[in-house]
Amino acid sequence: MLTVCIQAGGASSRMGEDKALKPFLGRPLIQRVVERLQPIADEIIVTTNQPDDFSFLDARLFPDLKPGRGALGGLYTAIASAAHPFVAVIACDMPFASPTLIQASIRIMDDKNADVVIAKSEEGYEPLHALYRRETCLPAIEASINADQWKVIAWFPQVKVRVLTSEEIKSADPAGLAFWNVNTPEEFANAENRANNNPDVVK
């Protein structure tokens, strides 16, 4: 059973406006992300401290449970608020978030008895397009917060982390767009152009 949590807590400082609400191909970006992932989810939730702005979504809305604790606090809120044992946490600014990759991650989590299934590039881990096992991850994250740690992956040594191989990612996300997040107006426009020119990734 899968909860998909869309995180809408960023400052959007480089965008100049709330990117979650900025129209992408005619509808708010966060609505696009929700609609992409809804078919695989038993539950969709959104973490936000401005719930009134997102009341139009067909999703339960949750404010920070650990205010002022940055990305690690946001991850705690996502996993603590989920009703199901598997939790996919996705940033609201990923217009090509991949349901196929999340489904592949669930199979890997089951097969390998992993607690986290996540991609890693030269820039580091992708914690905001990853899958977490609620039962084991939640206490590990809470312990890191209580120890005054701030890095979003500070708790990884306490759990079993399975890093996706490049072959696994390519098989599930052949277009290579799942982890593309849009932070500036230019990146936003480029993503819209890519979606317009590639109908297969619009779905």
Average pLDDT for 64-82: 95
Place 15 in a pLDDT band, splitting at 50, 70 and 90: low
74 alpha-carbon distance from chain centroid: 11
**Structure-block tokens of residue 112:** 């390998």
197 and 24 in contact (C-beta within 8 Å)? Answer: no
Contact present, 34 and 6 (Cβ < 8 Å): yes
Domain ranges of the chain: 2-202
pLDDT tier, 159 (very low <50, low <70, confident <90, very high otherwise): very high
DSSP code at position 16: T
Do the strands 43-47 and 129-133 form a parallel or antiparallel pair, or are they unpaired? unpaired
For residue 10, the model assigns a pLDDT of 62
Taking a C-beta distance cutoff of 8 angstroms, is the pair 93, 115 a contact? no
Average pLDDT score over residue span 121-146 = 96
Residue 203 has pLDDT above 90, yes or no: no
137-160 mean pLDDT: 97
Q: What is the pLDDT of residue 13?
A: 54
Whether the pLDDT of residue 16 is over 70: the answer is no
* pLDDT recorded at residue 149: 95
pLDDT score of 196 = 86
- What distance in Å separates the CA atoms of residue 122 and residue 39, rounded to the nearest whole number? 31
> pLDDT tens across 21-71, in order?
999 999 999 999 999 999 999 999 999 999 999 999 989 999 999 999 999
Let me know: does 25 contact 196? Beta carbons within 8 Å: yes
| CATH fold of 2-202 | Spore Coat Polysaccharide Biosynthesis Protein SpsA; Chain A (3.90.550)
Mean pLDDT, range 171-185, rounded to an integer: 93
Q: How far is it, in rounded angstroms, from Cα 34 to Cα 98?
A: 11
Asked if residue 199 has pLDDT above 80, the reply is: no
Quote the CA–CA distance of 7 and 189 in Å, as a whole number. Answer: 21
- As a whole number, the mean pLDDT across the chain is 93
Amino acid at 106: I
Mean pLDDT over residues 144-149, rounded?
Answer: 96
Torsion angle, alpha carbons of 17, 23, 24, 27, to 10: 150
Q: In this structure, are residues 117 and 108 in contact, taking their beta carbons and an 8 Å threshold?
A: yes
